[in-house]
């Protein structure tokens, strides 16, 4: 995420890092580099200039000049300013009314429908809500099907009227339906066009008037940079939306939209969406994003994600097995599944300070564990529970079942064995705690 911006900023800080003192000269050079980096990340020049002027003011202040480590302080100043530029505090989704009505607007292809599914899933699983998804796109029959497929995947009902050619009417009826079916959130996915056009704007505005949503979210593809910001302005002038959703942050996004949208429309980014999997919606935290841009990682999010997946009972069971040296392939598989549920592996690694840069060129796909899983899957339950019974002929069979070479099974078994040895050793230590969370 925003890799080239991160790299450029790091280069900029070289001017002041390691220097015993901050001088007007090295601040000026750093600030100039930062400004260039921002502009190249597709941040509008005026915003970039204002930003760096603020950084410069703070960096040449008394405190910084006398600081023990001016380089570090400079990074902190930039981090705070970046967080401020993106809105400072995180902004909550507004869930008022019964049902709470959320209107989703944006251009076609921005990721509205995918986001609607993710939001419904998020509200259902994390907020205990009972959402109803509404297909209000009357122009593309495929849009209804797409929403139905998503709804089916997450177990959320989808309201549609394939034969009605009036989006306002559909939205109204959907709210009625929510009332009668005890749904407490209605998410209306509206039609989009490839470019801003009056008919589309008039239609979304009419839906807004008809159903009076307490929350309107504008969805924008972060890969579109300055265009994203311009589109946001047009939509906001017409709809006065409550928040922005930035999608496709998993792509090769330079960062311009994330950094300047708040400044231009004065509305918070509420969610960021990266990936097409329905369980990967993240609340937007400006401070954490600033940290990530500066290569400081985002341990807070990483820990939160781990906690979400953390099942106290399961952890206690696992700890017991580890302490009795009984950790087996079934446990290993379960652990892999938990890690996978936390999200995209590369994204997770990027949350560890300093690691994002190291892995940016590596091709780590979500399938990273596929080979290992295939091998575990082709073991019998007996083999999973008693790794020691796996002799050569069994290894050959496992390799065949997993579509692997037997040497890969050897290698995996060896690594697994090393892992178990390590666990054994730790169990023998006087302070034998494994750092496994206690239930
Ligand atoms: P809509 O026309 O605004 O409803 O957009 P869709 O939800 O249909 O998304 C358009 C395309 O972008 C689809 O192919 C989606 O799978 C894809 N897409 C949506 N959100 C994301 C995302 O966060 N990351 C990536 N990589 N693709 C996305």
Asked if residue 242 belongs to a known ligand binding site, the reply is: no
Asked if residue 301 belongs to a known ligand binding site, the reply is: no
Q: What would you report as the CA-atom Rg of the chain, rounded to the nearest whole angstrom?
A: 26
Does residue 284 sit in the same domain as residue 308?
no
The pLDDT of residue 339:
79
Does residue 338 sit in the same domain as residue 391?
yes
Residue that terminates a domain, selected from 21, 55, 85? 85
Burial (CB count within 10 angstroms: exposed 0-12, middle 13-18, buried 19+), residue 156 = buried
Does residue 181 sit in the same domain as residue 159?
yes
Place of tokens 């921002």: 38
What number does the ligand 1 atom closest to the CA of 280 have? 23
Nearest CA to ligand 1 atom 20: 111
Cα distance from N-terminal residue to C-terminal residue, the chain: 35
The pLDDT of residue 393:
94
The pLDDT of residue 247:
92
Does residue 69 sit in the same domain as residue 49?
yes
**Two structure tokens written together for 209:** 């008037």
Ligand 1 mean position to 275 CA, how many Å?
Answer: 8
Residue 108 inside a domain? The answer is yes
State the Cα–Cα distance between residues 45 and 150, nearest whole angstrom. 40
Does residue 132 sit in the same domain as residue 259?
yes
For residue 361, what is the DSSP state?
A: T
User: What is the arrangement of strands in the sheet containing 157-159, beginning at the earlier edge strand?
Assistant: 157-159, 131-136, 185-190, 100-106, 215-221, 243-247, 269-273, 281-283
**Two structure tokens written together for 427:** 């169990």
Residue 436 inside a domain? The answer is no
Task: Work out whether the CA dihedral 152, 245, 341, 366 comes out positive or negative.
Answer: positive
The pLDDT of residue 292:
84
The pLDDT of residue 11:
86
Residue 90 inside a domain? The answer is no
State the Cα–Cα distance between residues 75 and 411, nearest whole angstrom. 43
Dihedrals phi, psi of 422, to nearest 5 degrees: -60, -45
The residue segments making up the domain with residue 47 are 3-85
Is the minimum distance from the CB of 192 to ligand 1 under 6 angstroms? yes
The pLDDT of residue 63:
62
State the Cα–Cα distance between residues 280 and 286, nearest whole angstrom. 18
Does residue 278 sit in the same domain as residue 326?
no
Task: Work out whether the CA dihedral 384, 387, 392, 393 comes out positive or negative.
Answer: negative
Does residue 152 sit in the same domain as residue 207?
yes
Is the minimum distance from the CB of 110 to ligand 1 under 6 angstroms? yes
Is the minimum distance from the CB of 231 to ligand 1 under 6 angstroms? no
How many helical (H) and strand (E) elements, i.e. helices and strands, does the chain have? 21, 8
Give yes or no for a contact between 302 and 353, defined as CB atoms under 8 angstroms apart. no
Domain count within the chain: 3
State the Cα–Cα distance between residues 187 and 136, nearest whole angstrom. 10
The pLDDT of residue 37:
92
Residue 438 inside a domain? The answer is no
The pLDDT of residue 297:
72
Does residue 271 sit in the same domain as residue 153?
yes
Does residue 170 sit in the same domain as residue 310?
no
Nearest CA to ligand 1 atom 18: 111
Nearest CA to ligand 1 atom 5: 111
Residue 437 inside a domain? The answer is no
In the three-class reduction of DSSP (H, G, I as helix; E, B as strand; rest coil), residue 227 is classed as helix
Is the minimum distance from the CB of 276 to ligand 1 under 6 angstroms? yes
Does residue 148 sit in the same domain as residue 267?
yes
CA-wise closest residue to 100 among 202, 214, 189, 245? 214
State the Cα–Cα distance between residues 33 and 26, nearest whole angstrom. 11
Task: Work out whether the CA dihedral 330, 334, 339, 341 comes out positive or negative.
Answer: positive
Q: 243 preceded by cis ω (within 30°)?
A: no
The pLDDT of residue 356:
67
For residue 434, what is the DSSP state?
A: -
Residue 315 inside a domain? The answer is yes
Classify 297 in phi/psi space as left (phi over 0), alpha (psi -120 to 50) or beta: left
Best of 103, 106, 111, 117 for a ligand 1 pocket test (most atoms within 8 Å of beta carbon): 111
Give the CATH number of the domain where residue 421 resides: 1.10.260.30
This prediction has a pTM of: 0.77
Per-position pLDDT tens, the chain of length 439: 788 888 888 888 887 776 666 677 778 888 999 999 999 998 989 999 999 999 988 887 756 656 666 677 788 889 999 999 999 888 899 999 899 999 999 999 999 999 999 999 999 998 999 999 999 988 887 889 999 999 999 999 999 998 888 999 999 999 999 999 999 999 999 988 777 788 889 999 999 999 999 999 999 998 887 888 899 999 999 999 999 999 998 877 788 888 999 999 999 999 998 888 888 788 999 998 898 888 777 777 777 777 777 777 777 888 888 888 888 999 888 888 887 777 777 777 777 776 666 666 677 666 778 888 999 999 999 999 999 899 999 999 999 999 999 999 999 999 898 888 888 887 776 654 444 444 3
Ligand 1 mean position to 323 CA, how many Å?
Answer: 46
Residue that terminates a domain, selected from 295, 314, 343? 295
Residue 439 inside a domain? The answer is no
Does residue 215 sit in the same domain as residue 160?
yes
CA-wise closest residue to 113 among 284, 237, 276, 270? 276
Nearest CA to ligand 1 atom 19: 111
Beta strands in 78-146 (DSSP E): 100-106, 131-136
Residue that terminates a domain, selected from 53, 85, 117? 85
Ligand 1 mean position to 169 CA, how many Å?
Answer: 26
Is the minimum distance from the CB of 274 to ligand 1 under 6 angstroms? yes
CA-wise closest residue to 21 among 79, 69, 89, 81? 69
Residue 91 inside a domain? The answer is no
The pLDDT of residue 20:
62
Distances in Å between the Cα of 66 and the Cα atoms of 25, 56, 421 are 16, 15, 51
Does residue 166 sit in the same domain as residue 225?
yes
What number does the ligand 1 atom closest to the CA of 114 have? 7
Give yes or no for a contact between 356 and 292, defined as CB atoms under 8 angstroms apart. yes
């Amino acid at each position: 995420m925003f890799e080239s911006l991160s790299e450029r900023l790091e280069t900029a800080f070289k001017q002041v890092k390691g220097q015993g003192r901050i001088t007007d000269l090295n601040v000026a050079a750093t600030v100039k580099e930062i400004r260039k980096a921002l502009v190249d990340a597709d941040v509008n020049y005026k915003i970039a200039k204002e930003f760096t002027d603020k950084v410069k003011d703070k960096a040449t202040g008394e405190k910084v000049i006398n600081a023990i480590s001016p380089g570090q302080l400079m990074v902190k100043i930039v981090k705070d300013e970046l967080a401020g530029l993106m809105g400072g505090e995180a902004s909550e989704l507004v869930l008022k009314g019964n049902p709470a009505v959320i209107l989703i607007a944006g251009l076609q292809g921005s990721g509205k429908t995918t986001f609607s599914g993710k939001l419904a899933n998020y509200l259902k699983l994390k907020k205990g809500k009972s959402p109803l998804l509404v297909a209000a796109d009357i122009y593309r029959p495929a849009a209804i099907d797409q929403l139905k497929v998503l709804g089916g995947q997450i177990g959320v009902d989808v309201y549609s009227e394939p034969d009605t050619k009036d989006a306002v009417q559909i939205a109204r009826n959907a709210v009625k339906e929510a009332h009668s079916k005890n749904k407490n959130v209605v998410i209306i996915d509206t039609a989009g066009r490839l470019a801003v056009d009056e008919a589309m704007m008039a239609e979304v505005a009419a839906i807004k008037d008809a159903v009076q949503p307490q929350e309107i979210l504008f969805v924008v593809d972060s890969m579109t940079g300055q265009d994203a910001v311009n589109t946001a302005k047009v939509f906001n002038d017409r709809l006065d939306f409550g928040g922005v959703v930035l999608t496709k942050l998993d792509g090769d996004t330079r960062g311009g939209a994330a950094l300047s949208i708040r400044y231009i429309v004065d509305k918070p980014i509420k969610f960021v969406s990266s990936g097409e999997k329905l369980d990967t919606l993240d609340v937007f935290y400006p401070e954490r994003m600033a940290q990530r841009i500066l290569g400081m990682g985002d341990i807070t999010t990483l820990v939160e994600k781990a906690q979400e997946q953390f099942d106290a009972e399961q952890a206690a069971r696992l700890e017991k097995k580890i302490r009795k040296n009984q950790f087996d392939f079934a446990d290993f598989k379960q652990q892999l599944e938990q890690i996978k549920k936390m999200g995209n592996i590369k994204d997770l690694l990027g949350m560890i300070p300093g690691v994002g840069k190291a892995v940016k060129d590596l091709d780590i796909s979500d399938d990273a564990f596929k080979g290992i899983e295939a091998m575990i899957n082709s073991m019998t339950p007996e083999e999973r529970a008693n790794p020691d019974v796996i002799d050569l002929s069994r290894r050959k069979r496992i390799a065949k079942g997993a579509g692997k070479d037997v040497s890969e099974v050897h290698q995996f078994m060896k690594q697994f064995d090393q892992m178990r040895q390590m666990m054994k050793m730790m169990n023998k230590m006087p302070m034998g705690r494994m750092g496994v969370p206690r239930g």
